[in-house]
Amino acid sequence: MLRPDAPVLGLYIWFRRLNQLRFIARDPILTGVLKIVQLPPLCTQWRFLGALHGSVAQQILRVQSQMRSRVWEAANVKLSTVTLDTDTTVHTLYGKQTGARKSYNPKNKGKKSYQPILTFLAETREYVAGELRNGDRPTGKQIARHLHSAVQSLPACVEKIFARADAGFYCWEAVEAYQQAGCRFIVVARKTSRLVEQLQQAKWKPSPKTDANAECEFRYQPNGWDQAFRFVALRYEKKADEVEAGEAEQYQLFETSRYTYRVFVTNLEEPIDLAVWFYNQRAGAENLIKEANNDAGLAALR
């Protein structure tokens, strides 16, 4: 099995990713410290983890949370304000694995998949919480449970939490979970007929500080939500050929016959351009998910 201290020693000599350990598998200094001939391949670790019972996952997460707190304390990391980036990733399946579902799968439409949920800490790029799920879109209860787990995993020194998520987490349960944790959040809104009506009735103004043609904000309470929240939106004029092509919907942008919109629900009080800028920094989470899939072997756990 891969020694747990091997990745730590790898960090000391500037190998920050697990898959890079293969370059130092026979390094005489590293193997001398660990008193082994060579490091085993990473697939050994994945097979070991795959053989564990599902209940062990929560134990590993608790150990990880304790280790994070101790490392922060030892390294004198005292972050009082942090940002949680939550996202899902799609793992296409080609066999008959348990839990496989046909759902949102942009690269392999119609294929069965898993949809794990992952949360990262933007400031330190640490993995905070996650779970391997079936291919269905996560329910509100599943999202809320995950967000509560992520918040509980933070060290005690954290006093203020910001959070960002895409349209897959647009639901009352997610907003309620953020509220209960005292998070300042911004989440991409999904297209509904009532929301489109609000956009059409809103007072739009030029948006010189963003890449959009116009911007607006309004208070709105979606169906099933217990209260109204601030919604901010950017509007982009469609070109003539795009108008003729008809209406289409994307995962984070949605369109009408004349415009394309980006719409967010938030409890941030900052101006629209700053709120959107803050959300745009979430792109780092997508890079971390790519690293988890390609470098840490997450895509192999299927």
pLDDT tens over the chain, length 302 residues: 555 555 655 655 556 666 667 777 777 877 787 787 877 777 776 677 667 776 777 777 778 778 788 878 887 888 899 999 998 776 566 666 655 656 666 666 666 766 778 888 888 888 888 776 665 678 889 899 999 989 988 888 899 999 999 888 999 999 999 999 999 999 999 999 999 999 999 999 999 999 999 999 999 999 999 999 999 999 998 875 554 444 344 445 777 778 899 999 999 999 999 999 999 998 766 666 666 655 555 544 44
Q: What per-residue confidence (pLDDT) applies to 127? A: 82
> What pLDDT, on a 0 to 100 scale, did the predictor assign at position 248?
41
Distance of CA 142 to the CA centre of its chain: 14
Report the pLDDT value the prediction gives residue 246, as an integer from 0 to 100.
Answer: 42
The pLDDT assigned to 245 comes to 44
Closest CA to 212 of 160, 264, 156: 264
**C-beta separation of 246 from 215 below 8 A:** no
Is residue 264 within 8 A of residue 234, CB to CB? The reply is no
Question: Dmax of the chain from CA atoms?
Answer: 70
Instruction: Please classify residue 297 by burial: count the beta carbons closer than 10 Å to its beta carbon, then call 0-12 exposed, 13-18 middle and 19+ buried.
Output: middle
User: b or e along 172-186 (b: 16 or more beta carbons within 10 Å of the residue's beta carbon)?
Assistant: bbbbbbbeebebbbb
Report pLDDT for 126.
Answer: 83
Helix 172-180 and helix 140-152, axial crossing angle in degrees, nearest 10: 20
DSSP H helical ranges for 181-263: 193-201, 240-244
The type of residue at 107 is K
* Contact present, 279 and 164 (Cβ < 8 Å): yes
